[in-house]
């Protein structure tokens, strides 16, 4: 299919327009955060800051325990990611490469649980966690995610199925057991898929809202999204402050994404087509 | 030889079960057990502090008489009806535009996908600012186009529209990537053969692209509907369900019943009804899909 030159130009024009729409809110967030208060309320709005004022960034950390929230969010996201990678790839290896009875059926049941919405398990989970005295700790944010991620198992299994079984057979002949094969052969070969799942998990946890909202009570345990919501509750129209808080929350993820977006986009394409 | 193989097979069994144990335990403890408990809770009165009491069908009766329940369902549907077609059309159009060699494609993809990656309370806050009544950016731009912008977030219709727009903005990049992958899966020769037979671009689109892309479209519609039904943080932060409950959806209703009013039994009923609705819609979609989804085998 050949496209005419005007056709190509028009495609680019349309794409650039949509991309501007996709990115503009972030530009607006950043520039609002960097404007002095009186410039924010100007009409018509200033598209580019006339004077820069970074004063609201330190305020974000003074007015709310944002630094603590950073620590909490990082801890939850890192621990969940490490744990998820381990349990998911282990199960994926079993489903992809170890013949055991009921493997197909169990995997089917497993996948079907992806359809169960969070809402129906929320109330009983709260009950279980309060019995275990896990409410207002980080545990209910980490443990269930680590131990239950059908999507993660699926993603890694798709990748592992493509690895020749001959590798495993020859390692077995050399006397390696399955755990050794998993660690020494499968994990290194699956690096791209593991990076993808790791990114999904980390970013998903960093952005998670409902779990922390329900399972955490005291401000010292809040993750970043909860602090953001409390900011909105207190400083309703202090736009400079709100946008600085939003910037502080979003920028680490933006940087991480821009550095690793290849894995992200490939992973989505992979899981989507097969799904 | 036969003996060693069966021994090998048996040890394989154990390794297999061992490796899936953490995920299976999670499945039992954090999915299956909660689902069963939710079903049980439907039939008890329980305020979380005093012991639960048998309630028969009381909870169903109460919920089916509450206006908010129906409002929640209607709003959930209205938002999904807005988001799904808009996102499908937009992301499909983007995928069609970029299906082929193109300069700057990596940059376009990165930009389009950014809203999905950052979808969080913080970005909803940014939209809250964009939708702001007097000095909000959106109404400024609309004003430039000669349109007087509505009161986003304070008029029922426009508050729903605001949520729909934001969700579409958030999801388009994600579904675009999936559509693009689907397009790449259509064999080139089909188009070449059709071209030789003299089919024009529109015919090629309708006769080749649309049917062969239908499994992808189907997947997208099913997942998008489920994610729309589960939207919580967007209305919770952007509109708090208002004005006058016009953006109050079924998940917010479950949240309020359970964690604000401690009406656990009723909350369980609503969550079960919600799952039943999602299940029913998904089932209907699968049945309908036989008529319009073409699988290449």
Cβ contact (<8 Å) for B34 and A120?
yes
**Tens of pLDDT, residues B50-69:** 888 888 889 899 999 999 99
Please check whether residues B134 and B16 belong to one and the same domain: no
The mean pLDDT value for B224-230 works out to 91
Cβ contact (<8 Å) for B182 and A275?
no
Residue in B closest to A181 by C-alpha: B15
Give the contacts of A229 (CB within 8 A, at least 6 positions apart): A209, A213, B121, B236, B237
Cβ contact (<8 Å) for A119 and B130?
no
B133, B151 contact by CB (below 8 A): yes
Q: Which of A25, A96, A111 to mutate to test the interface with B (most CBs of B within 10 A)?
A: A25
The answer to whether position B46 is within a domain reads no
- B268 vs B52: which has the higher pLDDT: B268
Q: Which of A165, A265, A266, A270 to mutate to test the interface with B (most CBs of B within 10 A)?
A: A265
The answer to whether position B271 is within a domain reads yes
Structure tokens at A77: 């996201």
Chain A to chain B Cβ contacts (< 8 Å): 296
A194: helix, strand or coil: helix
The mean pLDDT value for B71-100 works out to 93
The mean pLDDT value for A124-144 works out to 92
pLDDT at position A275 over 70? no
Please check whether residues B64 and B35 belong to one and the same domain: no
Among B94, B32, B82, residue whose Cα is nearest residue A12: B94
pLDDT classification of A274: cutoffs 50, 70, 90 = very low
- Give the whole-angstrom CA distance, residue B261 versus residue A69: 28
**Tens of pLDDT, residues A150-207:** 989 998 998 888 888 888 888 888 888 889 999 988 999 998 889 989 998 999 999 9
**Tens of pLDDT, residues A210-238:** 999 999 999 899 999 999 998 888 887 88
Please check whether residues B114 and B253 belong to one and the same domain: yes
Cβ contact (<8 Å) for B34 and A100?
no
- Give the whole-angstrom CA distance, residue B22 versus residue A144: 10
Look up residue A46 and give its DSSP letter.
P
Residue B297: the pLDDT is 58
CATH number reported for the structural domain that contains residue B97 in this entry: 1.10.3720.10
pLDDT at position B8 over 50? yes
Write out chain A residues lying below 8 Å of B264, CB-based. 123
Residue A159: the pLDDT is 87
Residue B148: the pLDDT is 86
Beta strand B53-54 pairing with B44-45: antiparallel
Residue B2: the pLDDT is 43
Please check whether residues B157 and B221 belong to one and the same domain: yes
Cβ contact (<8 Å) for A273 and B109?
no
- A275 touching B (Cβ < 8 Å): yes
What percent of chain A lies above the pLDDT cut of 70?
A: 96
Cβ contact (<8 Å) for A95 and B169?
no
Strand partners, B53: B45
The answer to whether position B24 is within a domain reads yes
- Give the whole-angstrom CA distance, residue A73 versus residue A46: 34
pLDDT classification of B48: cutoffs 50, 70, 90 = confident
Closest Cβ–Cβ partner in B173, B177, B185 for A22? B173
What percent of chain B lies above the pLDDT cut of 70?
A: 96
Look up residue A115 and give its DSSP letter.
G
- B7 vs A256: which has the higher pLDDT: A256
Among A141, A2, A28, A27, residue whose Cα is nearest residue A83: A141
pLDDT at position B83 over 90? yes
Residue A226: the pLDDT is 93
Element (H, E) at B9: helix B2-27
| Rounded CA Rg of chain A | 23
A55, A48 contact by CB (below 8 A): no
Cβ contact (<8 Å) for B121 and A272?
no
B166, B127 contact by CB (below 8 A): yes
ipTM of the complex: 0.89
- Which domain covers residue B35, as residue numbers? 2-41
Structure-token match 């939708």, residue found: B131
Write out chain A residues lying below 8 Å of B236, CB-based. 209, 229
- Give the whole-angstrom CA distance, residue B159 versus residue B155: 6
Q: How many domains does chain B have?
A: 2
pLDDT at position B238 over 60? yes
A269, B220 contact by CB (below 8 A): no
Write out chain A residues lying below 8 Å of B255, CB-based. 210, 214
Cβ contact (<8 Å) for B27 and A149?
no
Please check whether residues B15 and B155 belong to one and the same domain: no
- Give the whole-angstrom CA distance, residue B124 versus residue B139: 17
């Amino acid at each position: 299919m050949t496209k005419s030159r005007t056709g190509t130009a028009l495609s680019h024009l349309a794409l650039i327009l949509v991309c501007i729409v996709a990115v503009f809110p972030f530009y607006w967030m950043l520039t609002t955060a960097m404007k002095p208060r009186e410039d924010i309320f100007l009409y018509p709005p200033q598209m580019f800051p006339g004077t820069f004022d970074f004063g609201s960034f330190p305020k974000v950390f003074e007015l709310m325990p944002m630094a603590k929230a950073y620590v909490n969010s990082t801890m939850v996201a890192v621990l969940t990611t490490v744990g998820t990678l381990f349990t998911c790839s282990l199960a994926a290896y079993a489903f992809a490469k170890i013949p055991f009875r009921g493997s197909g059926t169990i995997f089917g049941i497993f996948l079907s649980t992806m359809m169960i919405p969070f809402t129906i398990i929320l109330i009983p989970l709260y009950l279980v966690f309060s019995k275990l005295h896990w409410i207002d700790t980080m545990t209910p944010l980490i443990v269930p995610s680590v131990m239950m991620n059908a999507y993660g198992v699926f993603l890694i299994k798709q990748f592992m199925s493509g690895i020749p079984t001959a590798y495993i057979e020859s390692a077995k002949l050399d006397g390696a057991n399955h755990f050794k094969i998993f660690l020494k052969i499968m994990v290194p070969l699956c690096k791209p898929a593991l990076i993808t799942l790791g990114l999904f998990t980390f970013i998903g946890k960093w952005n998670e809202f409902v779990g922390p909202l329900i399972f955490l009570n005291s401000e010292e345990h809040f993750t970043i999204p909860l602090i953001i919501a409390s900011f909105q509750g207190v400083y309703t129209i202090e736009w400079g402050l709100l946008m600085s808080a939003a910037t502080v929350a979003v920028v680490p993820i933006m940087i991480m994404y821009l550095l690793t977006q290849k894995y992200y986009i490939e992973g989505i394409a992979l899981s989507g087509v097969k799904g | 030889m036969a003996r060693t193989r069966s021994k090998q097979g048996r040890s394989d069994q154990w390794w297999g079960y061992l490796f899936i144990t953490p995920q299976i335990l999670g499945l039992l403890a954090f999915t299956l057990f909660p689902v069963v408990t939710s079903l049980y809770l439907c039939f008890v009165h329980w305020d979380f502090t005093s012991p639960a009491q048998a309630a028969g069908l009381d909870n169903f009766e109460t919920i089916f008489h509450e206006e908010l329940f129906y409002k929640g369902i209607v709003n959930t549907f209205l938002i999904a009806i807005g988001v799904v077609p808009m996102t499908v059309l937009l992301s499909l159009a983007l995928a069609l535009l970029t299906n082929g060699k193109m300069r700057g494609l990596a940059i376009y993809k990165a930009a389009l996908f950014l809203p999905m990656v950052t979808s969080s309370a913080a970005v909803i806050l940014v939209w809250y600012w964009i939708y702001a009544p007097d000095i909000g950016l959106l109404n400024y731009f609309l004003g430039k186009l000669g349109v007087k912008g509505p009161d986003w977030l304070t008029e029922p219709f426009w508050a729903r529209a605001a949520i729909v727009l934001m969700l579409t903005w958030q999801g388009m990049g994600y579904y675009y990537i999936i559509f693009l992958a689907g397009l790449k899966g259509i064999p080139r020769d089909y188009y070449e053969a059709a071209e030789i037979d003299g089919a024009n671009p529109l015919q090629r689109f309708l006769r080749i692209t649309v049917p062969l892309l239908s499994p992808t479209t189907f997947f997208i519609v099913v997942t998008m509907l489920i994610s729309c039904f589960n939207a919580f943080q967007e209305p919770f932060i952007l509109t708090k369900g208002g004005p006058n409950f016009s953006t109050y959806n079924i998940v917010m209703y479950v949240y309020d019943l359970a964690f604000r009013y401690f009406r656990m039994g009723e909350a369980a009923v609503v969550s079960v009804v919600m799952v039943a609705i999602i299940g029913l819609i998904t089932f209907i979609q699968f049945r309908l899909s036989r008529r319009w989804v073409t699988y290449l085998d």
